[in-house]
């Protein structure tokens, strides 16, 4: 493992074993999260991005299972750990925030107590008074107004933005080295989204933690990520440093996603579309998973899918005919 990385995922495969057949939700994924960086994992629903992070946290549920792969966190291998060992790491050093804060908070427990509980489980020597003080501090840090009042609130008494801040407070209170955020702003309004993204960036700058951010929104990626992985049908199809990816987009799928976003200031009469829908993972095309929707697909694309190839330093793409060469010419 490269010790500049806090997390290294190698060859991760997580499958669902259903009555209709085996669904390769995550099919050979490699991801590096360098220390202190924000890494974005982008894709549409069903592409396997949530399944990837659930595999890291050991949260894959029946009929799903991690089939193989190595997940190395801060020098320790996570796969194969017993549940209680994994739980010690996940919480102490890795925290996760979810898309819908309402369903991930306990509705019948005051939020202050919930956050304190997270701290006291992982730091058994701490006294209750000290813990309370720390909870106050973290509430202030994540920008919850009137924290002493909010500690006594139940989740339903808070707005969506405040609930997500409580989730972030809970995730941050053990000072994790890695924060995994699964669509943290998808359920929120743009104004609140901007606040939460800014907060995550500030916390990263202050504490030096790393963030693995799952999102479907390339706008969010462009705003805060340092590195980007684009996922399609269970595989990484393109990966690069953020500026590189946006400036030299090489995979037709990434290009298609970028072109589908309505641009402010653009006066296009029609939007670019990617024809068709995400393929059923039970019946993937034989060649490249994207070939049926790709405007550039040739015969060869239908026969065999490409491997991830490095086309420029640090920029890898899974396509036998990457765009960059011809578009820029």
User: Least distance (Å) from another protein to the CB of residue 251?
Assistant: 13
Q: How far apart are CA 212 and CA 218, in angstroms?
A: 15
Q: How far apart are CA 50 and CA 67, in angstroms?
A: 16
Which residue number, 171 or 228, has a Cβ lying nearer to another protein?
228
Three-state secondary structure of 40-99: EEECCCCCCHHHHHHHHHCCCCCCEEEEEEEEEECCEECCCCCHHHHHHHHHHCEEEECC
Which residue number, 18 or 273, has a Cβ lying nearer to another protein?
273
Which residue number, 84 or 267, has a Cβ lying nearer to another protein?
267
Which residue number, 201 or 302, has a Cβ lying nearer to another protein?
201
Which residue number, 43 or 69, has a Cβ lying nearer to another protein?
43
Torsion of CA 262, 268, 270, 272, to 10 degrees: -50
Please identify which residue in the block is written with the tokens 């060992």: 85
State how far the alpha carbon of 49 is from the alpha carbons of 14, 44, 320, in Å.
11, 8, 23
Q: Kindly tell me the burial class for residue 217, based on how many C-beta atoms sit within 10 Å of its own C-beta (0-12, 13-18, 19 or more).
A: middle
3 state SS of 256: helix
Which residue number, 3 or 269, has a Cβ lying nearer to another protein?
269
User: Least distance (Å) from another protein to the CB of residue 277?
Assistant: 5
Helix extents (H) in 173-313: 190-207, 218-224, 242-247, 252-260, 299-303
Helices (H) and strands (E) in the chain, counts: 13, 12
User: Least distance (Å) from another protein to the CB of residue 270?
Assistant: 5
Binding site for another protein (CB under 8 A): 44-45, 145, 159-162, 189-195, 197-198, 216-224, 242-243, 246, 256-258, 260-266, 268-275, 277-278
User: Least distance (Å) from another protein to the CB of residue 101?
Assistant: 14
Which residue number, 264 or 329, has a Cβ lying nearer to another protein?
264
User: Least distance (Å) from another protein to the CB of residue 197?
Assistant: 8
User: Least distance (Å) from another protein to the CB of residue 128?
Assistant: 30
User: Least distance (Å) from another protein to the CB of residue 231?
Assistant: 13
Nearest to 112, CA basis, from 149, 80, 70, 66: 149
Which residue number, 129 or 268, has a Cβ lying nearer to another protein?
268
The torsion angles phi and psi of 7, rounded to 5 degrees, stand at -140, 135
Nearest to 295, CA basis, from 316, 311, 315, 273: 273
User: Least distance (Å) from another protein to the CB of residue 130?
Assistant: 30
Q: Which two tokens stand for residue 273?
A: 């579309």
């Amino acid at each position: 493992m490269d010790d500049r990385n806090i997390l290294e995922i190698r060859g991760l495969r997580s499958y669902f074993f259903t009555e209709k057949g085996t669904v390769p939700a995550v099919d050979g994924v490699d991801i590096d999260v360098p220390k202190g960086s924000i890494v974005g994992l982008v894709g549409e629903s069903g592409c396997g991005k949530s399944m990837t992070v659930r595999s890291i946290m050991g949260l894959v549920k029946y009929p799903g299972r991690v089939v193989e792969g190595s997940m190395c966190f801060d020098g320790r291998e996570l796969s194969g750990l017993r549940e209680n060992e994994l739980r010690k790491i996940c919480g102490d050093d890795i925290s996760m925030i979810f898309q819908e804060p309402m369903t991930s908070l306990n509705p019948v427990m005051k939020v202050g107590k919930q956050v304190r509980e997270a701290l006291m489980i992982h730091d058994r020597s701490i006294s209750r008074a000290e813990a309370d003080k720390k909870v106050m501090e973290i509430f202030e840090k994540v920008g919850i107004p009137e924290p002493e009042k909010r500690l006594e609130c139940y989740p339903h008494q808070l707005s969506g933005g405040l609930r997500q801040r409580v989730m972030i407070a809970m995730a941050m209170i053990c000072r994790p080295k890695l924060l995994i955020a699964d669509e943290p702003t998808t359920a929120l309004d743009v104004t609140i989204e901007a606040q939460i993204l800014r907060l995550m960036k500030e916390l990263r700058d202050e504490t030096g933690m790393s963030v693995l951010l799952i999102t479907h929104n390339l706008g969010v990626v462009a705003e805060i990520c340092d590195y980007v992985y684009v996922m399609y049908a269970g595989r990484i199809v393109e990966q690069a440093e953020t500026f590189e990816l946006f400036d030299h987009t090489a995979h037709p799928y990434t290009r298609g996603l970028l072109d589908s976003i309505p641009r402010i200031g653009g006066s296009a009469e029609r939007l670019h579309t990617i024809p068709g829908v995400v393929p059923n993972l039970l019946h993937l095309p034989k060649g490249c998973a994207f070939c049926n929707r790709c405007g550039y697909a040739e015969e060869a694309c239908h026969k065999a899918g490409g491997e991830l190839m490095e086309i420029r330093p640090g920029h890898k793409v899974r396509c036998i005919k990457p765009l960059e060469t011809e578009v820029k010419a």
